[in-house]
Amino acid sequence: MPFRLAPFFSPRPWGSTNWAHWYPEARFTEPIGESWLTGPQSLIETGPWTGLTLAQAFAAHRAAICGPVSRDADFPLLLKILAPTEKLSLQVHPDDAAAQQSGFPRGKTECWYILDSQPGAALSLGLTPGTTPEQVRRAIAEGTLDERMNILPVAPGEMFFVDAGTIHGIGPGMTILETQQTCDITYRVFDYGRGRELHIPDALRVMRLSTRAGRIAPCDAGSFSRLIHEQYFTVDRFDLDAAASVPLPSMKSAQILVALADGASLVCAGQSLPLTRGHAVIVPALGPAATLLAQAATEVLRAFPG
């Protein structure tokens, strides 16, 4: 049966203590940069596995959650909400092959869905065309890597693909839903003077001068919009009118639902599970079909592996 997770809040120096829009009851004394919706530490809030972390439930019930063909030791996708008040570091993540050469099980390819943004908000996504490895090294040494980045303005509802090997950064003034491989390997190359550790040799080893990263146009799929379909994940958006009823067929993999506002529920096998804003609901693989029901106009995102 579907179950809901409590978010795990990850402190970051560029974060905020004000998450009232997403979590009205939460109070923070240190800046929170990321809400991990399907993090290994996220606690299950509903169903027979209540009180277990997602990592514990997955270790004991992997086939039930992700299907009998699952061979991964970790839940495959990590979804996060990011809310920066300052620029993130310029950084890069390895692909699977580069990560495995360093002893990690997988790399980190990700995508960003813009939930909201202020005027002037922008991403740094990839190097400008024609940039050479020597120019990258010089810019890192001189603290001018910003000048070599491809800057993309953002607007709510846009999706961006972030291929592994892409040097990237996120600016302030936006909120993002990130979908990524479950991996937290980050090689920082520039951190705007915050004094955190840099990983320049590793970053130079795994970076690529040109990647497929960039803005992705949505596709109309009938009852939903397909925002992105890549090797590691697919992300869809359901725009639900009040009183809408949308069938959600079962899949061979787990589905992750994230409501962007209250007002919808998931009905499965005669049981109703409210979708709470900023929380993830996992629909296990191969279970009974479910239905999305809306009590008010709302938006629900769905992510699943592959």
pLDDT for position 278: 96
Residue with the two structure tokens 């099980």: 105
Do domains 3-215 and 219-305 share one topology? The answer is yes
Check if CATH label 2.60.120.10 holds for domain 219-305.
yes
Strand pairing class (298-305; 233-240):
antiparallel
Contact status, residue 95 vs residue 180, Cβ threshold 8 Å: no
Residue 15 CA to residue 17 CA, distance in Å, equals: 7
The residues of the chain scoring below 70 in pLDDT are: none
Residue 203: how many other CB atoms lie within 10 Å? 22
Residue 92 CA to residue 128 CA, distance in Å, equals: 15
pLDDT for position 70: 73
Residue 276 CA to residue 264 CA, distance in Å, equals: 8
CATH number listed for the domain at residues 3-215? 2.60.120.10
pLDDT for position 287: 87
- Residue spans of the domains in the chain: they are 3-215, 219-305
Of the candidates 258, 256, 253, 251, which has an alpha carbon nearest to the alpha carbon of residue 288?
A: 251
pLDDT for position 71: 77
**Which residues pair with residue 232 across a beta bridge?**
none
Residue 123 CA to residue 117 CA, distance in Å, equals: 11
